[in-house]
Amino acid sequence: MGKVIGIDLGTTNSCVSVIENNMPVIIPGTSGSMTTPSVVAFTKKGEQLVGESARRQAVTNPDRTISSVKRHMGTNWSVKIDGKEYKPQTISAMILRQLKKDAEEFLGEAVTDAVITVPAYFNDIQRQATKDAGRIAGLNVLRIINEPTSAALSYGLNHGVAQKVMVYDLGGGTFDVSIIEIGDGVVEVLATAGDNHLGGDDFDDRIAQWIVNSFKAEHHTDLSRDFAAMQRVRDAAERTKKELSSSGSSHIVLPYLTQVKGEPVHLDLTLTRAKFEELVSDLIERTADPVRNALNDARITPSQLGRVLLVGGSTRIPAIQEKVRQMTGKEPSKNINPDECVAKGAAILGSTLQGNAIVAADTGKDLLLLDVTPMSLSIETVGGVATKLVDRNTTLPTRYSRIFSTAAPYQRTVEIHVLQGERPMARDNKTIGKFRLKGIKAAPAGVPQIEVTFDIDANGILKVSARDLDTGKEQSITITANDRMSEEEIRQAMADAANYAGQDQIRREAMEVLNDSQSLLAKTEQALKNAGKQLDKSVKKQVKTDITRLRKLVTKCRLDKVTEEEVEEMRTTKSQLESSAAQMQL
């Protein structure tokens, strides 16, 4: 049985872990760092880049570089590149495939099984999309687990003293807060709350906006219209933000940022920590409500918290730590690595799912994990009301049935409209699926008995079924929200991914020949110029012909579609040019 990897598929960075000698270890990425930027890029030559290499070229290739795709998971967002449309699942799959490859190189064996983490506040569609991304990447996703739960798992392993713990997780794009009870080998989530659209990216945006405004005041030029300049501004904004976590001010210098009236203009600004805190104070304040809600749902006061754990890169911001201190009256624990603990928890769960008992260090007992639903689940009933079947923070897995009836006389069909959210009216909640139960026995209104069952598995993924108790007719949900990928689309994406992976070797060879050819062309053209008139006419003619032929092949070559024959042709043509160029030196 192969090893299971734990993947923290983050908005900004991703991290992979595996159990070695009964302890979770982090698998380094290709660049050697412990996390991999969640960035995908398509080069103009048709190559797909993932991670550090994609992040590095973002400034020069902004419209073909995709970052923070996690923010789009479960929506109908897509990006079109070279006429091909990519959904969030497909882009995420590219990141996952890279992580899988890194793990395989690290372990020296094939890896297929994985546990992937998602924000606790991810809805059903976002979870499904994450699972689909795993499938497209060739992974067998054993479980989707909530990030804070995962963090607590890695914490619980080391410090399994019985206590209630708050996990405050502020990453690049999402905010989650969970109240978790750890003790006696059990990790139980008591409540969870959060904001799907709040994270470090928003802090970067505020700094970027401040830079744009300051630049406008000084140079009367709107930087936001200059795409390439904005990419550099955003990069600088993130760097500045990080610097301000450890120093009181940050100097932002961007030479040759843009042109004003044909003249190059440099950016030179200083942002103080105090000003930064002023720029983001409302964002920090927005974390307070979820904290209060989670505590209320868990029915505890801050004083009953044993510990407060900080997870996610944005919790390194001193003002965030101060806010947590102020809200909980506790000094947040810093003895876990906020970037690594989520992946480590997923690796621990992965290993336990495989039947390897990972035991709590102190109690010596197996760990048992109890997760909860992040939001209430309801169906729409008469008058557009959302009637709850499963309350938020119900422990998983769970199953709940309730009997409904028809609203009109002799109604033969009912529509089951499944909703997720806390609002009383259906229209204010998120539709996660709709289906029809047909063939209900004709009867006066209110007579038929229709049993609706919600079944939520340990991944937090929901199945809904409706059954007419009289006729026994049953219908299960097919998620109709158009945000989901169809089975056919997933298969197509899997085939595309496999195809791309199969092409890897050819592409690598093509890349090598292409690079060599380009430097040969440059060298020979220069030599031709230098040789001038002394050169034998027939040699000159031959070199020129070979240059034209090779240049044509180089220009035509598309790395995403290149065939073995094309590589071979380029290789032969390159050799020909090498021979004719050698004649020039004679």
Q: Which residues bind ligand AMP (CB under 6 A)?
A: 10-13, 171-172, 200-201, 238, 241-242, 245, 312-314, 316-317, 339
Residues 6+ apart with CB under 8 A from 480: 433, 434, 435
CA Rg, the chain, in Å?
A: 29
Q: Nearest to ligand AMP by Cβ — which residue? A: 200
> Which residue among the candidates 102, 124, 132, 169 is catalytic per the annotation?
169
Structure tokens at 244: 């301000």
In this structure, are residues 347 and 24 in contact, taking their beta carbons and an 8 Å threshold?
yes
CB closer to ligand AMP, 58 vs 550: 58
CA distances from 154 to 298, 314, 339, 342, 344 (A): 21, 19, 12, 7, 6
Question: Taking the complex as a whole, how short is the minimal distance between the CB of residue 453 and ligand AMP, in angstroms?
Answer: 36
Measured from the CB atom, is 146 or 314 closer to ligand AMP? 314
Query: Closest approach of Cβ 314 to ligand AMP, in Å?
Result: 4
560 has catalytic annotation: no
CB of 26 to ligand AMP, least distance (A): 13
DSSP category for residue 198: -
- Alpha-carbon gap, residue 98 to 92, rounded angstroms: 10
Q: Which is nearer to ligand AMP, 134 or 313 (CB)?
A: 313
Of 64 and 316, nearer to ligand AMP (C-beta) is 316
Omega prior to 397 cis, within 30 of 0: yes
Nearer to ligand AMP, 13 or 580 (CB): 13
Residue 222 annotated in active site: no
Question: Which tokens hold the place of 1?
Answer: 């049985």
**What's the closest the beta carbon of residue 174 comes to ligand AMP, in angstroms?**
8
List of residues 6+ apart from 180 with CB closer than 8 A: 148, 149, 152, 164, 165, 166, 167, 187, 188, 189, 190
**Nearer CB in complex with ligand AMP: 274/382:** 274
Of 237 and 497, nearer to ligand AMP (C-beta) is 237
Q: At 263, is the secondary structure helix, strand, or coil?
A: strand
> Could you say which of 70, 87, 100, 434 is catalytic?
70
Q: How far is the CB of 358 from ligand AMP (least distance, A)?
A: 24
374 contacts 120 by C-beta, under 8 angstroms: yes
Q: Check if 70 is active-site.
A: yes
**DSSP state letter for 95:** H
**Beta carbon of residue 371, minimum distance to ligand AMP (angstroms, whole number):** 20
Report d(CA 50, CA 362) in Å as an integer.
40
Q: Please write down the HEC assignment for all residues of 279-346.
A: HHHHHHHCCHHHHHHHHHHCCCCHHHCCEEEEECHHHHCHHHHHHHHHHHCCCCECCCCCCCHHHHHH
Active site residue 438: no
Angle at 23 between CA 21 and CA 28, to 5 degrees: 95
Cβ 558 to ligand AMP, closest distance in Å?
34
Of these residues, 102, 124, 132, 147, which one is catalytic? 147
Phi, psi of 558 (to 5 degrees): -115, 115
Active site residues: 8, 70, 147, 169
